[in-house]
Structure 1
């Protein structure tokens, strides 16, 4: 039997901290709609921990892996990427993180891993593929590709009781918009709640897939607004979350092997400037435009102008990006940093076997921003031309970066196939 354990640690911030994810939103949180958590599932000597924050930077992720009780190379530290959480990354997304909360977040992820490891017991694992819930839409190209995969792991103790349910789906957790001022895990909260209702006593782990170009249908620019939208409400989030959970729960159960392995590597990603004009010219224009802009647009332009003055003049160094593939009894968990597009996920899935249940997730071990496929650069848009400014990056990732990540993941998956590696 596999030995497995699970744990949850509360990471809900107090009211008054800055929220992260929308440049249009300048007010702090006024309360909580649902508890934010760090959730860990440990299988053998490997683990995935997912925190309900927009991202966890590489340095913090590395400290979590080093400080927990498991071998660092066997651990994936992922963010849910909800936009209803606190600032969680140093030097990213334009607002300074609260140091006290940053320390709490790091300690909570470590505690979740350690508690799950201590709770390990003999278990059996089954896997299945849920049906397409029909929620995700390609927000850049109407009718464009989305990753519709909905894998589901059920982990049972020796007595048959389900102790953990693990799923993943590729749709941006941005049902709630910039007008929301309540802490929330967005629609994944409702996915988890529905799964835990189906299996009382179990802990549900939701991992966010490759959502760089996927949400429920609105454009990225639609979020530069503080207007209320009935399609972006808690009622809508619950409807969407429960629909995803229902589709996942329909997955058949196939037993997996007892072999557990982990492989990872680091690749170097370079940058390429998209802006043709000098930073001082851009700053002047954006500050002038901000003087007459409506509040949400004014906030965005202010971030851009600060970027032009402080960050744009710097020369970006290549970024070391960590890729990890866990193999839980023959089920791959492919973990990539940043906001990855559907095309990249689908390329990896094809190499794994299109009909094979597998997890391909983003926001793992770092969130440096959007990493688009090479053929998306011709279309420009927010994810290509603008988002790096809000992320606090000096330039966009160069074409070929996504393909480099995919090639690394495919190689690692072939090396972990059959359970070779860390048992």
Structure 2
């Protein structure tokens, strides 16, 4: 196993201010991003034959529209890399891309272009000296209960169900049905947090849900210090995807990733936005698991 990394720049934060306490889905070049491309190589025992690469990047795979079936830019990246390395397998691990979109987008050749850009970044990563990994692979996982904020009252839900916004009305109806069936609404949800340590050479943190990029930037900083400078790889969408996972900043700002998306969930009952403690709870749990694997 060899760890290396490169960079790619087509991801951009998609949260742009749209008036007081409102945010729109629009490219914002001044907002946080994580352009790192971590790569884990699996090679033969003598190191000469490349068997597999696992690569990551913090960006939605949404160049193409919702009604188009495709692997999008990660799929093209895998295709191009495997064409250049017959017999090798390329696999993708999504990063903290909850608020990150590929730009430009919505045309097939953009998906192909971003895929080519990513395949080139993987090539650049494996051409660096790289860091051989040795020692045991240690892992730990936990499901901390993340509380919700106070839900709307029954009276508010009844009024919302009769409103003109069909998404708000559907969500209110779901909450009312849950109230009638169980006598209450969920107070928390278990969000998985997993840590893998590859010897003392690489630390991987995997969090469930559509995690915004602030988590990656914070965990790389804090776990990087705790781990003596060993690289930190942070993935989202891991072990469960229930909704968006905002940082405290994004939660306070509001908007789609800050809690608005929860009203679209019909399979999981989210009665209200996450409690403001969500970021510290998840980061704290990752650090706790990391320390337990020393």
Superposed displacement of residue 399, structure 1: 1.1
- Matching residue within 322, 327, 349 for 2:220: 349
1:400 aligns with 2:270: no
Which ranges in structure 2 are unaligned for 5 or more consecutive residues? 17-27, 180-184
Equivalent residue, structure 2, for 1:149: 36
- Matching residue within 106, 131, 147 for 1:270: 147
Q: How many residues align?
A: 264
Contact 1:137 1:146 in 2 (8 A): yes
Which ranges in structure 1 are unaligned for 5 or more consecutive residues? 1-124, 218-229, 287-300, 418-423
Equivalent residue, structure 2, for 1:140: 15
1:307 aligns with 2:177: no
Equivalent residue, structure 1, for 2:161: 283
1:322 aligns with 2:199: no
CA distance in 2, matches of 1:175, 1:216: 6
Change beyond 3 A, Cα 1:246–1:391: same
SS in 1 for 2:162: helix
- Give the TM-score normalised by structure 1: 0.58
Contact 1:128 1:254 in 2 (8 A): yes
- Matching residue within 187, 191, 196 for 2:82: 196
Per-residue CA deviations over 1:261-316 (Å, capped at 9, x if unaligned) read 11222211001157688112222222xxxxxxxxxxxxxx4343221112256412
Equivalent residue, structure 1, for 2:5: 129
Equivalent residue, structure 1, for 2:133: 256
Contact 1:274 1:385 in 2 (8 A): no
Equivalent residue, structure 2, for 1:28: none
Contact 1:151 1:357 in 2 (8 A): no
Equivalent residue, structure 2, for 1:216: 102
Change beyond 3 A, Cα 1:185–1:275: farther
Contact 1:191 1:241 in 2 (8 A): yes
Change beyond 3 A, Cα 1:198–1:371: same
Equivalent residue, structure 1, for 2:119: 245
Contact 1:373 1:402 in 2 (8 A): yes
Equivalent residue, structure 2, for 1:33: none
Per-residue CA deviations over 1:114-139 (Å, capped at 9, x if unaligned) read xxxxxxxxxxx1111112x1111111
Change beyond 3 A, Cα 1:161–1:197: same
Equivalent residue, structure 2, for 1:382: 256
CA distance in 2, matches of 1:415, 1:150: 27
SS in 2 for 1:165: strand
Aligned pairs for 1:14-163 within 5 A: 125-131=1-7, 133-141=8-16, 142=28, 143-158=30-45, 160-163=48-51
SS in 2 for 1:200: coil
CA distance in 2, matches of 1:171, 1:177: 15
Change beyond 3 A, Cα 1:274–1:240: farther
1:333 aligns with 2:204: yes
- Give the TM-score normalised by structure 2: 0.82
Equivalent residue, structure 1, for 2:286: 409
Per-residue CA deviations over 1:381-413 (Å, capped at 9, x if unaligned) read 112242001123222211111221111112222
C-alpha RMSD over aligned residues? 2.2
Superposed displacement of residue 156, structure 1: 0.7
